[in-house]
Amino acid sequence: MTQQLTSRPLRFFGEGISYMKQTESKGSLIVIEGPDGSGRSSQIDLITSYLEAAGHAVVTTGLKRSELIGAGILEAKHKLPLGKKTLALFYAADFADQLEHKIIPALHAGYVVLADRYIYTLMARSTVRGIGRVWSHNLFGFAVTPDMVFYLDVPPEELFHRVFQKYGSLDYYESGADLGLSDNLYESFVLYQRRIAREFTMMEAKYGIVRVDGGRTISEVNADLQQRIDVYLKSRS
């Protein structure tokens, strides 16, 4: 990159982080949302290669990856079921750790940060479990507002086949098994994913989430995403 990166103040969902010293972003935060099996990681790999080839420094981040808390979340899940507020706060702590130690420093330094899921997934999961939207929104008052958010939309029936082919089984929480929607795991999965998808529809306008048809081939989806990201990055320089 030869051009000088322009600095702008970080934008937050709510109160922000008042004690923070790095308040400027020279980079871009681009979020890919979507359920398991929607092709998020394939797309992130492709976008990363493309952006790096174009000379951008790229960092990827995702949920459940923080060194501080990540492992603990999995342990806790296995030991005994956690209440829904407890789980929501746990994920928020994990997210905050990554935000402050990874995402914000990278933005400050001028990286393009590709986020494999962000707070929207956390909020949707909470809402379908009965937690109020306002509480979830307020909880993430410290989160940085992304520059772009995509949602890879894939019908639940199609997702089921993709997930089953890849892993040979369904994830307990991703199937909504804790909600007792159905004794039949397939039915539970479809009902749960439908609720999550509906929640994303609810959030679209409020948070500027761009819905992308994830039912197409990987390269078709990628061309679509890439084109939108290019337009955005050009507008920034």
Partner 1 sequence: MQGWSGWADRGMKRSAGNSVGRARGRLIVVEGIDGSGKSTQLHLLDKWLRSLGLNVFFTEWNSSDVVKEITSKGKKKALLTPTTFSLLHATDFADRYERNISPLLEADYFVLADRYIYTAYARDVVRGCTPSWVRKIYSFAKVPDATFYFRLPPEVAMDRILEGRPKLKYYEAGMDLNLSNDEYESYRIFQSKIVEQYDGMIKRDGFAVIDATLDIEEQQSQMRQHVRRFLPARFATVMPEPNGDSTK
Interface with partner 1 (CB under 8 A): 14-19, 68-69, 72, 75-76, 79-86, 88-90, 92-93, 96-97, 100-101, 129-131, 135, 138-139, 141-142, 177-180
**How far is Cα 112 from Cα 109, in angstroms, rounded to an integer?**
9
Instruction: Select 70 or 215, whichever has its Cβ closest to partner 1.
Output: 70
**CA-based diameter of the chain, in Å?**
58
Instruction: Select 45 or 100, whichever has its Cβ closest to partner 1.
Output: 100
- The answer to whether the CB of 28 falls within 8 A of the CB of 232 is yes
What torsion do the CA atoms of 93, 130, 145, 62 make, to the nearest 10 degrees? 50
Instruction: Select 2 or 18, whichever has its Cβ closest to partner 1.
Output: 18
Pair of tokens at residue 196: 């999550």
Pair of tokens at residue 74: 């999995």
To partner 1, the closest distance from the beta carbon of 231 in angstroms equals 33
Helices 84-98 and 119-128 cross at an angle (nearest 10°) of 180
- Helices and strands, number each (H, E), in the chain: 9, 7
To partner 1, the closest distance from the beta carbon of 80 in angstroms equals 7
To partner 1, the closest distance from the beta carbon of 37 in angstroms equals 23
- The answer to whether the CB of 152 falls within 8 A of the CB of 31 is no
To partner 1, the closest distance from the beta carbon of 86 in angstroms equals 4
To partner 1, the closest distance from the beta carbon of 96 in angstroms equals 5
Instruction: Select 11 or 236, whichever has its Cβ closest to partner 1.
Output: 11
Instruction: Select 77 or 211, whichever has its Cβ closest to partner 1.
Output: 77
